[in-house]
């Protein structure tokens, strides 16, 4: 084995990604912190972000140890119009992150809504999860309710089902359902899977319509519902497991005890007291068919084949058993042969006629 192979680092993550996952900053800020000499790994000061750390690495930022990352979380947020979807705005405008509760810590958005757009916006503390949900490969449909100015001709939207190219940018399939025309404005519902920058506004402008209001109703399986404007609500962990496959045992940063606790919370509680075992159902004979009444059970079982259990190595035998009731019924039954004796006396009332 060569010296290079012996000194190769273990499989891990880049230091900037680890700092961002811990909720301290973004990856870009982490790279600046490293260049400023604020990050130490295993007693050595880092001067380049091109460094891979392992789970056993000791990381210090400004002399303080890096805290363990929290489990992945997701929130539904009803973004009002007039807020910027960014942590910092070069124009000094208020961002939606300025309005969030401080106890949430540092979170990022799944995609964006522009300044004048409103509706459902997903927030998470896991940058890796955010990038996964943003990819069009997930196939998640984003639905919007859009108000446009002008008289709408619904047949003009049919061309968007095959996609459209605007200023050299290819936009994928867009489905538009016309709802109603009210005066000089119209309402439509838009469904798409890409969600590029200002995609709906640019496509409608290409068709000659100006978007005056844009409200996102859903993002994949997550719905805006009745969430008030400006409100935020955490998505339950059970929903994350069902929709995203985020099992409690796979949550990053969760200790073994925490994982066991999460798993136990989802298991049904054991019943208290004695458990009563249900009795087996009693066999019920089927109802008799219409017509001739059924024979007594003793007669029905007049002849039956009984298979005797054979000892090991012997062949089972069948025995024909005839009961006394069957023998008596056979004696009473008239013979069907032609020489059977006839009853004496001839026809009824023959002597009375004589």
Residue 65, both tokens: 């140890």
| SS3 of residue 129 by DSSP | helix
CA 58 to chain centre: 37
Q: Tell me how far the alpha carbon of residue 52 is from its chain's centroid.
A: 34
What DSSP string runs through 274-309? Answer: PPPPPPPPPP-PPPPPSSSPPPPHHHHTSEEEEEPP
Q: 114 catalytic, yes or no?
A: yes
Catalytic residue among 114, 266, 339, 351: 114
Range 63-70, long-range pairs (CB < 8 A, 24+ positions): 66/18, 66/19, 66/22, 66/24, 67/22, 68/22, 68/253, 68/255, 69/21, 69/22, 69/23, 69/252, 69/253, 70/23, 70/105, 70/125, 70/253
| 3-state secondary structure (DSSP) of residue 310 | coil
Catalytic residue ranges = 114
């Amino acid at each position: 084995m060569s010296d290079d192979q012996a000194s190769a680092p273990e499989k891990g993550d880049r230091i900037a990604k680890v700092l961002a996952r811990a909720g301290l900053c973004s990856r870009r800020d982490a790279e600046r912190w490293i260049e400023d000499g604020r990050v130490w790994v295993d007693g050595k000061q880092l001067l380049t972000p091109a460094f891979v750390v392992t789970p056993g690495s000791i990381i210090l930022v400004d002399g303080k140890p890096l805290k363990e990352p929290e489990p992945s979380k997701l929130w539904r947020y009803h973004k009002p119009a007039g807020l910027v979807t960014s942590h910092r705005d070069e124009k000094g405008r208020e961002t939606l992150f300025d309005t969030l509760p401080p106890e949430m810590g540092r979170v990022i958005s799944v995609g964006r809504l522009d300044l004048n757009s409103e509706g459902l916006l997903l927030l998470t503390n896991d940058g890796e999860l955010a990038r996964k949900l943003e990819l069009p490969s997930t196939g998640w449909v984003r639905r919007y309710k859009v108000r446009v100015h002008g008289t709408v001709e619904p047949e003009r939207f049919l061309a968007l089902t095959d996609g459209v190219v605007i200023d050299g940018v290819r936009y994928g399939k867009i489905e538009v359902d016309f709802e109603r025309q009210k005066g000089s404005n119209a309402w439509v519902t838009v469904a798409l899977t890409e969600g590029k920058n200002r995609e709906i506004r640019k496509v409608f402008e290409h068709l000659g319509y100006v978007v005056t209001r844009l409200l996102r109703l859903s993002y994949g399986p997550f719905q805006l519902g009745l969430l008030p404007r400006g409100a935020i609500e955490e998505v339950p962990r059970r929903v994350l497991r069902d929709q995203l496959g985020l099992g409690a045992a796979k949550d990053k940063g969760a200790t073994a005890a925490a994982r066991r606790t999460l798993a136990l919370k989802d298991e049904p509680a054991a019943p208290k007291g004695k458990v009563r075992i249900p009795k087996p159902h009693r066999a019920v004979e089927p109802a008799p068919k219409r017509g001739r009444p059924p024979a007594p059970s003793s007669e029905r079982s007049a002849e039956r084949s009984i298979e005797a259990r054979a000892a090991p190595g012997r062949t089972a035998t069948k025995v024909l058993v005839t009961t006394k009731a069957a023998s008596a019924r056979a004696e009473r039954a008239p013979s069907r042969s032609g020489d059977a004796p006839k009853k004496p006396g001839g026809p009824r009332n023959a002597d009375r006629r004589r």
